[in-house]
Amino acid sequence: MRLFVALELPAGHRAALEGVCEEGRRGGVRWVPAANVHLTLKFLGEVEETLLPEIEAALAAVASEAAPFSLSLAGGGCFPSPRSPRVVWVGVGAGAEEAAALAAAVDRALRPLGFSREKRRFRAHLTIGRPKGGKESAASAADKIEHLRGFEAPAEAAEVLALVKSTLTPEGAVYDVLARLPLGAD
């Protein structure tokens, strides 16, 4: 099964993103439904089901040692560049450092289970769309990205670490949360 570890978004952030994603439904970008938007901390890839209890235990230990924190959303952009965007994203304002520390703790906790150390620097962002390809898509994405630069959602408490199963379908990814682990819970 294909898994990743994420920070669940507060309800207010999902509501703010609904407007952004709905507004962009037209054009050459496949927008992520707001209910599926999350802050990925670590992508695990294909994982044997037998490893689930150990992964959950490692993540529970990380969650119990981390405190809930304020998270705000600010700005937006694309990766790798506006000329050839592959991912449209919304940025994290307040809470970016805490999210990076949580991602590092998840990375450290999962290494003994055989998961590779992250080589890239963590960049706190929420993927909200992927251009479909072609010049029309790039133009549509560029227009949307320009509007995202001023996007803001006020700070709310980020409180839950999640282990998520991702199933790829022609209509997009389907997510199933396998474990919700409250931050700071013993």
Please name the residue ranges forming H helices in the chain: 11-23, 52-65, 96-110, 134-148
Environment class of 155 (CB within 10 Å of its CB; exposed 0-12, middle 13-18, buried 19+)? middle
Is 13 catalytic? The answer is no
**Set 13, 14, 125, 144: catalytic member:** 125
The catalytic residue among 3, 9, 16, 38 is: 38
Distance from the Cα of residue 105 to its chain's centroid: 16
Measure the CA–CA gap between 6 and 92, rounded to whole angstroms: 14
125 is catalytic: yes
In sign, the C-alpha dihedral spanning 7, 89, 116, 175 is positive
Q: Which residues are catalytic?
A: 38, 125
